[in-house]
Amino acid sequence: MLDINNERDNVLFIGVGDAGSKITLDIVKETKSADYLLLNTKKRFNHNKRNVTVDSGSWINPPIYKIRESFLEKIDKITSIVDTFSNIIIIGNLASKFGIAIIPILTNFLHQIGGKVIISFVIMPFGFEKRKIFHSGVSLSFINKYSNSTIIVDNNSFLKNNPDISIPECFKITNNAVKDIIITSYGKGFPNEFNVIATSKESNNIEEVFSKSFTMCNDSNIQKIEKTCMFIYPAKEKIDRIDSIIKTTEKITNYSDNEINIISNSGNLSKIHLMIKTTHSLFSSYDPLNQFISINNFLDFEPETNKIVKEISYLEDIEAKTIH
């Protein structure tokens, strides 16, 4: 576990994009004293003094490299903020072009500074978002490389497990799972290496919640469970039912290393979040070249962390010329 409990005053939350910023602000409301930074386009959170605007100018639909160029223009301002913190918690969405563009460079930048513990919470796209899957998978591989801990939410597996749910409901449930886990772990410590979050809708039947959460693990194709952290919000459930669920968890995970967190809450419905330590190969299928090219080889420079994107900034702003 990455224990930052003794350095809680030296933790910076960085919310990247719309989803990351909303989750960060929700966390700040509950932790109250937490320091934070938001990174967004010019359209979002301009009212917040801790927001750094990554503005691509007149580009209506800027490509990933253009967003990265705009981000690097703000790097000095970001450096002045992050320098005084030794623990950085990044929250962002790899189903958005903004998150795909920025989070890999941000983790690499923080890694190169040195002396910082980097914990990255990222949300993966739905399976039907074909144009984003490849780029999000490549970005994830670099984020995992430069983070001490990478914790992901696989929205596609959640949707497969809850086919009757709407997309806004999916976002609400999975975003709340990220928030809940961060708030609880903030005082106890975060897992290292690669972890996957599994969760489900709240219910007045805790067995149903438990079953749905573990089914999400199967939908994520998790082959090997190295450790399970369970966060139980029991509402009004009796202790014998909670005890039964914990014993069932031990059997399912072959009595591997398990951590149980029972959190009292004022809600009337029960919920359970699982944080499962596994291998990064879970998302190797996102990159179709993985089956042909060795992981130690690259076709060209590493585009997700390359800092010389200005070499291609001579390309004309076709969009701006079109609308004028």
Shortest CA distance to 145 belongs to which of 106, 178, 179?
Answer: 106
Shortest CA distance to 45 belongs to which of 70, 71, 20, 67?
Answer: 20
| Region of poorest pLDDT, from 166-170, 272-276, 279-283 | 279-283
| Region of poorest pLDDT, from 114-123, 197-206, 219-228 | 219-228
Whether the predicted model's global pTM rises above the 0.95 cut: no
Q: Quote the CA–CA distance of 289 and 285 in Å, as a whole number.
A: 9
Sorted by where each starts, the structural domains of the chain and their CATH numbers stand as 9-323 (3.40.50.1440)
pLDDT in tens, 76-91: 888 888 988 989 999 9
More confident residue, 37 or 253: 37
Partner residues linked to 232 by β-bridges = 262, 272
Shortest CA distance to 213 belongs to which of 224, 225, 201, 204?
Answer: 201
Q: What is the pLDDT at residue 312?
A: 46
For residue 310, the tally of other CB atoms under 10 A from its CB is: 12
| Region of poorest pLDDT, from 24-33, 129-138, 143-152, 218-227 | 218-227
Q: Does pLDDT of 38 surpass 90?
A: yes
In what helix (H) or strand (E) does residue 289 lie, and over which residues does it extend? none
CA 148-89-228 angle, to 5 degrees, is 60
Q: Does pLDDT of 319 surpass 70?
A: no
Q: What is the pLDDT at residue 200?
A: 85
Q: What residue has token string 């701006």? A: 320
Q: What residue has token string 């999916």? A: 170
Residue-averaged pLDDT of the chain: 78
Q: Mean pLDDT throughout 138-144?
A: 86
Rounding to the nearest 10 degrees, give the CA dihedral for residues 124, 168, 183, 148.
Answer: 10
pLDDT in tens, 143-173: 988 999 999 888 888 888 788 888 888 889 8
